[in-house]
A and B are shown apart, each in its own frame.
Chain A
Amino acid sequence: MTNLAEPAGVATGARDKRDYRSDQQIRWCPGCGDYAILAQFHKMLAAVGANKEDHVIVSGIGCASRFPYYVDTYGLHGVHGRAPAIATGIKAVNPSLTVWVVTGDGDALSIGVGHLIHALRRNVDIKILLLNNAVYGLTKGQASPTSFPGQVTPSSPAGVVDRSLNPLRLALTAGATFVARCVDSHGRQMRDVLIAAAEHRGAALVEIWQNCPVFNDGAFVQPSRNYLHLRPGQPLTVGGDGERALTLDQGGRLRVQRTDDADPPLLRHDVGNAALAGLLADIEGDDLPVPVGIYYRCTRPVHSDALRPEPPLRGRRSAQELLDAGRIPRAG
């Protein structure tokens, strides 16, 4: 594994990524994109100097959901789709814990989509890593909600007919306060996003394009498309040469134009602009690049605050008062 330079702002003396590995043997297929994601996750923990005992990783069912077993923090491997609900309960009881949910496209967007939406809308202070491989891996290759139209799978021999679900658009609509996309092979960028997610207070959704070499190899490889690295305040330049960037045409649609062409003006990335984030999330088709990085970030009160601050155990009123009250007090 390459030893990347630590990002700015991280305290020196941060721990080593190896400190965060559990003693469990990893059981993903060789070449699975999950390995790269796990490696960046360990590095992120080291980079933020995480106290292991203060972190909890919650997962559902699927290949991605094995994740908690491989990190030496607290972990709860739940049932299919319900990790956000479990995480909500953990966070409600102990808001000082840092809670991660690791999920997949089937887990989060099919069976568990109801819970995902509500965790985001409540702004539960949890960080959701959605490892999207556009297929069901653990159950051997069926179509998932993010499978592409035409994709041939054991459950869709004539090709997927349904439109695929856009997790970023969903997250923005549901009210996530941190929305980002990464690609498993872009380690450095992924780690930066993970660090930013770790430092975000509120519901974060990070979609990570994850290659499943066994059931959906190369699903996200799009040779005709460039990546657009989202950097706050910077023009939305496409490709490495900086000669082209995104702009809005008169109809309010995104299009690519040369950077030396000043009309219309180039767009700059503004992570606080939900409308721009929506346009970026909706990008599809070969003409436009794939934005990666932080689409959107804002602050809103988090759910555990709304649940009222924890009453100090010693200072709290005794149940005897309720028992003795002539009338049982009711809210409102």
Chain B
Amino acid sequence: MTSGQDVQATGVVICLAGDSGDGVQLAGRRLAQQGVAAGLGLGVAPDFPAEIRAPAGSLNGVSTIQIRFDAGEPLTAGDTADVLVALNPAALRANWRRLKPGGCLILDSGAFIEKNLALAGYDVDPVAQLETSAHDLVRVDMTALTLAAVEKYDLRRRSALRCRNFFAMGVVCWMYQLHTEATLAWLDRQFESHRELGEANRAALRAGMNYGETTELSARRVLPVASDGSAGPRRMVSGNEALSLGLVTAAELSGLDLFLASYPITPASDIVHLMCGWDEFGVRTFQAEDEMAAIGAAVGAAYAGALAVTTTSGPGFALMSEMLGMAVALELPMLVVDVQRAGPSTGMPTKPEQSDLNQALHGRSGEAPLPVLAASSASDCFWAVIEAARIALRHMTPVVLLSDAAIANSAESWRQPRLRDIRPINVRQAEAGSPFAPYARDEELARPWAVPGTPGLQHRIGSLEKEHVSGHISYDPGNHELMTRLRAQKLAAAARHIEDTVLFGSDHGDLLVVGWGSTFGAIRTAVARARRCGKQVSHLHLRHLNPLPPDLGRCLRGFRKVLVAEMNLGQLCARLRDEFLLDLQPYSKVQGGPFAVADIEAML
């Protein structure tokens, strides 16, 4: 593993940690924005508590954001950090392991007081010990310096202390010589109605920079080389943002209105928060009374001719099972987005897991197959949801798209595409006067989409079994078997459109690592390093979990050993074993956090 170090060393990783009330997420995202604006590639991984208000200063209340700047597009936010800023002892305790040997540790010494040390569970002040470590330790009394910097504004002590995040950001900006103009302007806009607060935050940011400058705080550090922008503009995008952009793009590509019905649930809610402001883009959102109503409204909207979507997470997805089964029977095109979190039940709402795969594949009564896809990174949510819409509309079927808390909240730099470069989505709604039977099928086994309001095509569909072609209620045994098989064959029809699998590495060898969803970055990075060390290892990442790519069996058979890495106890592994009768090995991690590159490397 040792020679893997040089690969890991690309880019710069900065980690900000504090109490959840300290605003480190906000400051971190501003820092990231500035990097992207400066032409850097970006990986951002936040980690925040589920509790709205864990006790201030406690370990449970620690909020962390890790930002990686790179010359290219990094696949992860990095395993370890070059710089760690800890705004209190708990933040240090929760995150010191992230710091690289020789990395720079910046502490707010003003927050390392007895009370906070006790809250973090330190018996003795850890700073003395750190002084003798290999780290570059920088102690700054950010508490006092921030209070001094914002003194002239009429703020209460509490509000004044809330500016510490921007002081810390200022220090980091000085260290990496990052321009802060954009953030200063942003603060102006953001606090338009609270001018004092905006000014105070600006003052704190400047004070942080100046403090670095005047005290020559530590060695200045260098950022990776920024791109010259010739490849087009880049922006920062989170998984939930990319997913929302993908939905509105899919609606435009298909010429349909978008209807999004949802019930609030972490970590999916942000999608609705975004899209409810997009009515001018043909989007209508509906906050339903529960998840059953959310998917019910989506079914109604699909029936009425819109591109219908519902977004949720595991427990909400469970409530949708019944209606999703009906959508299979009705053969209506719609999307269910499950932003997975650690389960079972309420589990750990802000922590990622990939344990809803079985629920997506099988969680319905009866034989109710439907396509299941997964997004592999924040920006990939955009492409994955367009693909999901394409399948839904082509085959007249509900489609489940799996994201998870890791990619929903993480962010990346992204070169946004041009709409005209994306293949349009073909939609065929039945027209008045054409010969019509509700359950006749085309070559994709799709039934016609006859939208209410179309003269002459009145018909009734429902949750009871229907007769092939006519759609009339039918209890005929032969018809039921035919319909059951037809619903299964729709999946086979969808499989024909899946592109050939692209293996990373060679198509045969000692070891293949198979992954799906948000584990992409960690696996790809680890496999790339191992290959550079001369190992015979390849990576196969699955977007389509149902139906599986037709060439998948052949790909798997090219390797002596196949490892299926996933954040569950082997759900995809079991599915693949069942499908291909191969002796695949599961590699599981269920700790409410994504795989680190090192986790995968340890297995290669």
Judge whether A77 and B293 touch: CB under 8 Å: no
Which residues of chain A from 64 to 83 have any CB-CB distance to chain B below 8 Å in the complex? 68-69, 72-79, 82
Judge whether B292 and A82 touch: CB under 8 Å: yes
Judge whether B461 and A77 touch: CB under 8 Å: yes
Chain A hits for B245, CB < 8 A: 319, 322-323, 328
| Cβ of A185 under 8 Å from chain B | no
Judge whether B301 and A53 touch: CB under 8 Å: no
Judge whether A78 and B304 touch: CB under 8 Å: no
Judge whether B453 and A54 touch: CB under 8 Å: yes
Q: How long is the Cα–Cα vector from A195 to B461 in the complex, in angstroms? A: 26
The total number of A-B Cβ pairs within 8 Å is 194
Q: How long is the Cα–Cα vector from A87 to B298 in the complex, in angstroms? A: 10
* Interface class of chain A by DSSP: mixed
Chain B hits for A149, CB < 8 A: none
| Cβ of B6 under 8 Å from chain A | no
- Nearest residue (CB) in A for B37 is A326
Which residues of chain A from 273 to 332 have any CB-CB distance to chain B below 8 Å in the complex? 307-308, 310-311, 313, 316-324, 326, 328-332
Q: Say how far A59's CB is from chain B's closest CB, in angstroms.
A: 8
Judge whether B259 and A93 touch: CB under 8 Å: yes
| Cβ of B235 under 8 Å from chain A | yes
Contact of B300 among A89, A118, A310, A328 (CB under 8 A): A89
Q: How long is the Cα–Cα vector from A79 to B323 in the complex, in angstroms? A: 7
- Nearest residue (CB) in A for B302 is A89
- Provided the pairs A94-B304, A317-B280 are in contact, do residues A78 and B463 lie with their beta carbons within 8 angstroms? yes
Q: How long is the Cα–Cα vector from A329 to B473 in the complex, in angstroms? A: 47
Judge whether A319 and B248 touch: CB under 8 Å: yes
Q: How long is the Cα–Cα vector from A169 to B84 in the complex, in angstroms? A: 61
Q: Which of B172-180, B270-278, B519-527, B573-581 contacts A (4 or more CB under 8 A)?
A: B270-278
Interface size class of A (residues with CB under 8 A): 35 or more
Which residues of chain B from 445 to 499 have any CB-CB distance to chain A below 8 Å in the complex? 451-464, 472-473
Chain A hits for B443, CB < 8 A: none
Which residues of chain A from 170 to 187 have any CB-CB distance to chain B below 8 Å in the complex? none
Q: How long is the Cα–Cα vector from A313 to B290 in the complex, in angstroms? A: 29
- Provided the pairs A74-B452, A87-B300, A94-B304 are in contact, do residues A319 and B281 lie with their beta carbons within 8 angstroms? yes
Which residues of chain B from 266 to 302 have any CB-CB distance to chain A below 8 Å in the complex? 273-274, 276-282, 284, 286, 288-290, 292-294, 296-302
Q: Say how far A140's CB is from chain B's closest CB, in angstroms.
A: 18
Chain B hits for A322, CB < 8 A: 245, 248, 278, 281
Extra inter-chain contacts (9) besides given A54-B453, A77-B464, A307-B286, CB under 8 Å: A53-B456, A74-B458, A75-B462, A82-B323, A94-B305, A311-B279, A311-B282, A328-B244, A330-B273
* A-to-B contact residues, CB < 8 Å: 22, 24, 51-56, 58-59, 61, 68-69, 72-79, 82, 84-94, 96-97, 114-115, 117-118, 307-308, 310-311, 313, 316-324, 326, 328-332
11 A-B interface contacts by CB (under 8 A): A51-B455, A74-B459, A76-B461, A77-B461, A77-B462, A77-B464, A85-B294, A86-B296, A93-B305, A114-B293, A322-B281
The 3 A-B residue pairs whose C-beta atoms are closest, nearest first, are A89-B300, A77-B462, A85-B296
